[in-house]
Amino acid sequence: MTQAARCFHDGLVSEHYDVIIVGSGAGGGTLAHTLAPSGKRILLLERGDFLPRETDNWDPKPVFVEGKYISEDTWFDSDGKPFQPQVHYFVGGATKLYGAALYRLRPRDFTELKHVDGISPAWPLSYDDFEPWYTKAEQLYQVHGNAGEDPTEGPRSAPYPWPAVSHEPRIQQIYEDLAKGGYHPFHAPCGILLDEAQRSRSTCIRCTWCDGYPCLVHAKSDAEVIAVRPLLDRENLTLLTGAEVTRLETDDSGRTVTGVVVSRDGNREVYQADIVAISAGAANSAKLLLNSASDAHPHGLANGSDQVGRNYMFHNCKAVVALSKEKNDTVFQKTLGINDFYFGAKDYEWPVGNIQMIGKSNAEAMRGEKPKATMLAPEWSLSDVAKHAVDFWLTTEDVPTPGNRVTTDRNGDIHLAYTMTNNAEADRLYAELKKILNHTGMAEHHVLRKNFYMDMSIPLAGCAHQAGTCRFGPDPATSVLDVTCKAHELDNLYVVDTSFFPSIGAVNPALTAMANAIRVGEHLLGRMS
């Protein structure tokens, strides 16, 4: 543990808190931030440590090629084959490495949507219900954006707190070309602490090491910087790092969590609170519940419905690199989005998805991601490829299915069974991207030697957008959590990470987790008052 407001050492600890939060990422960190001003005694348990600030933060070799910040966990696929999941155990969770694209779900994402491979179910709350918390989350995480450009976005009760991050010249050109072609490109919502009006005073320096890297200068709106760090001097907040929660114990009735069992520095510790909120990430929260089986909950805690771990989603994504003759000198590339195909395409009835930019390619990172990429460009070195690359991220919604699930084995380890859905929609999105590149000087018919495309599909291990596993809903037979994100079967157990998502939409999930954590936090404040 490198830093904590207060901590305890060794043995059985009987300290009693008002609230224990497990996990300090988008959900848990934001919940702690929402609860802390009340003065309630909060224990924040985080299995990771603070992510070290070091030059490696901004070096593609350690970050992408060597995977320095990826956990050493081993998970298993449905055939029992081990793999290293790309999960990040730090104060701030996955947001320490995230791209900080902070999107709201679209209003129709909250309703039932039919997809080529099944149904994306309706949420028990509407977009309008969620809107006030989206606004609060955008304000907390200082989201930069420009409302009104994207026809799929929902109504807002407040503008973005910060103006949109400007496009650099190559991206501005693409923006204008697309607009001329009749599309509706928009400024992507970004959570970076950039003040473009006063660059000399800006915390963010607008560098190229953002998407997938930790921010060395703490200028990314991640859950550590925004939510947790400002709480560290508070008397009523205790953060324990290196504290892995391994089990939740209940009273005999099974209705109340009475002990949060922690493994820390090789010791077993037990903590108690009136309310326990878990936010360990969709896979790890399911793992914790499943590993907490008892006589009262023989199939896992809160799992009488057999829903815990099911309906795991993580998006059907592609990273696509388009190469053109002209160089792309963009430094911070993640400023453009296109939702023209979000709910369908010409003569295509199914939702297709979101197109956005990702961090600018560089030769080192490409070497890590796809060693054979240059086979497509035999005359170009990886550096040439990187200099000419324009990088897109394509996201299609995957539908929740009961068979896509987390289970645990007798050792308590995660097994992840996952079959991708909506491949036809994802293929269509890729085809639409190629079409729109016609308008941007990266046309399909210019492919061949100087313009060509590579795609990098995201394998199972890339579980960055994991969600589902404990969905919320009114019916205890089909959901794990009620509408307040309290477990149906318990009186004091909540889940506030992306586990609660009944469906995932086709935009990045973090803002929805943050908004929901504020919503649940406000509910808890009411409950404890």
Ligand X SMILES: Cc1cc2nc3c(=O)[nH]c(=O)nc-3n(C[C@H](O)[C@H](O)[C@H](O)COP(=O)(O)OP(=O)(O)OC[C@H]3O[C@@H](n4cnc5c(N)ncnc54)[C@H](O)[C@@H]3O)c2cc1C
Contact (CB, 8 A) for 451 and 323: yes
For residue 213, the number of C-alpha atoms closer than 13 Å in the C-beta half-sphere is 30
Task: Please pick, from the candidates 21, 36, 101, 416, the single residue that binds ligand X as defined by CB under 6 A.
Answer: 101
In the complex, the smallest distance separating the C-beta of residue 392 from ligand SF4, rounded to whole angstroms, is: 19
Tell me which residues in 305-334 interact with ligand SF4 (CB under 6 A).
Answer: 332
> What is the Cα 410 distance to its own chain's centre?
29
Rounded alpha-carbon distances, angstroms, from residue 274 to 43, 46, 321, 525: 11, 19, 50, 13
- Cα separation, 148 vs 476, in Å, equals 39
Between residue 31 and residue 60, which ones bind ligand X under the rule CB under 6 A? Answer: 45-48
Beta-strand relationship, 237-240 and 42-45: parallel
Partner from ligand X, ligand SF4, none contacting 207, C-beta within 5 to 8 A by type: ligand SF4
User: Does residue 25 bind ligand X (CB under 6 A)?
Assistant: yes
| Residue at shortest CB range from ligand X | 25
DSSP 284-336: HHHHHHHTT--SSSTTSTT-TTS-TT-S-B--EEEEEEEE-SS----SS-TTE
Judged by DSSP in three states, 258 sits in strand
Q: In this structure, are residues 81 and 277 in contact, taking their beta carbons and an 8 Å threshold?
A: no
Stretch that binds ligand SF4, among 26-34, 135-143, 203-211, 309-317 (CB under 6 A): 203-211
Give 147 or 217: the residue with its C-beta nearer to ligand SF4.
217
The site partner of 513 among ligand X, ligand SF4, none (C-beta below 5 to 8 Å per kind) is ligand X
Give every CB contact of residue 192 below 8 A, 6+ residues apart in sequence: 100, 144, 165, 204, 206, 210, 219, 220, 221
Burial (0-12, 13-18, 19+ Cβ within 10 Å), 145: buried
Position among 206, 234, 415, 434 found at the interface with ligand SF4 (CB under 6 A): 206
* Cα radius of gyration (the chain): 22
Residues 57-96 that bind ligand X (CB under 6 A): 88-90, 93-95
CB of 166 to ligand X, least distance (A): 18
Q: Which of 63, 219, 289, 373 binds ligand SF4 (CB under 6 A)?
A: 219
Q: Is 311 in the site for ligand X (CB under 6 A)?
A: no
Q: How many residues bind ligand X (CB under 6 A)?
A: 40
Q: Does 204 bind ligand SF4 (CB under 6 A)?
A: yes
Q: Which is nearer to ligand X, 94 or 442 (CB)?
A: 94
Structure tokens belonging to residue 277: 């909120």
Query: Crossing angle for the helix pair 510-528 and 127-140, nearest 10 degrees?
Result: 100
3-class secondary structure per residue, 104-119: CCCHHHHCCEEECCEE
Which listed residue (94, 192, 320, 467) binds ligand SF4 by CB under 6 A? 192
Instruction: Decide which of ligand SF4, ligand X, none touches 508; Cβ closer than 5 to 8 Å per partner kind.
Output: ligand X
Q: Does 225 bind ligand X (CB under 6 A)?
A: no
Check residue 229 for interaction with ligand SF4 (CB under 6 A): no
Pick between residue 297 and residue 334 the one whose CB is nearest to ligand SF4.
334
Binding residues vs ligand X (CB under 6 A): 22-28, 45-48, 88-90, 93-95, 97-102, 212, 244-245, 279-281, 284, 288, 464-465, 497-498, 508-511, 513
Q: Which residues bind ligand SF4 (CB under 6 A)?
A: 192, 204-207, 209-210, 215, 217, 219-220, 332
